[in-house]
Amino acid sequence: MSNSKSAYSFSNKKEKFDTHIIVVWVDNEAGVLARVVGLFSGRGYNIESLAVAQVDEKLKISRITIVTTGTPQVVNQIKLQLRKLVPVHKVADFKREDKAVIFKEMALFKIVGPNNKLESALKACKKYNPVLLDKTKKSNVIQITALRREIDKMSKDLKKFGLVSVSRTGAVAMTRGADIFK
């Protein structure tokens, strides 16, 4: 009895957690984001990042992109539970490793410091399509688009050049090639 585990509470299953990007097409109506987010918090699912905006003005469709982690069983439940929500039209699920899908996040970095440091910062961002959005004598605002872990790394690396503020979006995703998700 002492080593017994039960469905009633403990679980001794140690399954691997995978990172998935879930894309949800919803009616852009009052409370729809609360429904989606409430489903995640209420059922104990993770949200690593979230991006949402209306993508079709005429049909009033919003596209929500959620990065989540979970066992295969949990990720499957997330999809099935989302599909039950009345304003949800379709749900797509991509694994982070999926080569057929593009994932991007955007970040804004504010760097404050002497000119040489500002330049070094901009140089360091070279790989990630940097755009200089604002420039003063003492500061830069740089926009980059990259993967989550790349932005994580840049947020660390830029500290030495005078990084004072970071603002970043959640990931958005799109399939490669001519096909769209139906």
Partner 1 sequence: MSKLYSGAEIVFKCMKDQNVDHIFGYPGGAVLPIYDELQNFKSIKHVLVRHEQGAGHAAEGYARSSGKPGVILVTSGPGATNVVTALTDAYMDSIPLVCISGQVPTHLIGTDAFQECDTTGITRPCTKHNWLVKDINDLASTIHKAFEVATTGRPGPVLVDIPKDIQFQKTKYKKPKKEKKLNGKSHNHFNQNSIDHLIDLMSKSSKPIFYTGGGVINSGPKASELLRELVYATGFPITSTLQGLGSFPGDDNQFLGMLGMHGTYEANNAMHDCDLMINIGARFDDRITGKIDEFSPKSKKVHIDIDPSSINKNVKVDLAIVGDVKTVLSSTLKSLKQKKSKFLKSNKQKTSKWWEKIQKWRSVRSLDYIGSEETIKPQYAIERLYELTKDKDSYITTEVGQHQMWAAQHYKFNKPNRWMTSGGLGTMGYGLPAAVGVQVAHPKKLVIDIAGEASVLMTIQEMSTAVQYNLPIKIFILNNQYMGMVRQWQELLHDKNYSESYTAALPDFVKLAEAYNCVGIRAKTPEELDDKIIEMLNTDRPVIFDCMVDKVENCFPMIPSGKPHNQMILGPKDQENKKITGKGKSLV
List of residues contacting partner 1 (CB under 8 A): 1-13, 30-31, 34-35, 38, 42, 73, 76-77, 80-81, 83-90
Nearer to partner 1 (CB atom), residue 42 or residue 177? 42
Q: Which string of b and e fits 18-47 if b means at least 16 CB within 10 Å?
A: ebbbbbbbbebeeebeeebeebbeeeebee
Measure Cα distances from 14 to 4, 72, 97 in Å.
Answer: 16, 12, 21
Nearer to partner 1 (CB atom), residue 72 or residue 114? 72
Nearer to partner 1 (CB atom), residue 33 or residue 174? 33
Q: Rounded to an integer, what distance in angstroms lies between the CA atom of residue 94 and that of residue 65?
A: 11
| Contact between 102 and 149 (Cβ < 8 Å) | no
Q: Rounded to an integer, what distance in angstroms lies between the CA atom of residue 110 and that of residue 136?
A: 11
Shortest Cβ 58–partner 1 spacing (Å): 18
Residue found by looking up tokens 């949402």 in the block:
52
Shortest Cβ 103–partner 1 spacing (Å): 26
Shortest Cβ 3–partner 1 spacing (Å): 8
Shortest Cβ 78–partner 1 spacing (Å): 10
Shortest Cβ 41–partner 1 spacing (Å): 9
Nearer to partner 1 (CB atom), residue 73 or residue 129? 73
Give the residue among 22, 172, 180, 24 at the shortest CA–CA distance from 90: 24
Nearer to partner 1 (CB atom), residue 6 or residue 116? 6
DSSP category for residue 169: P
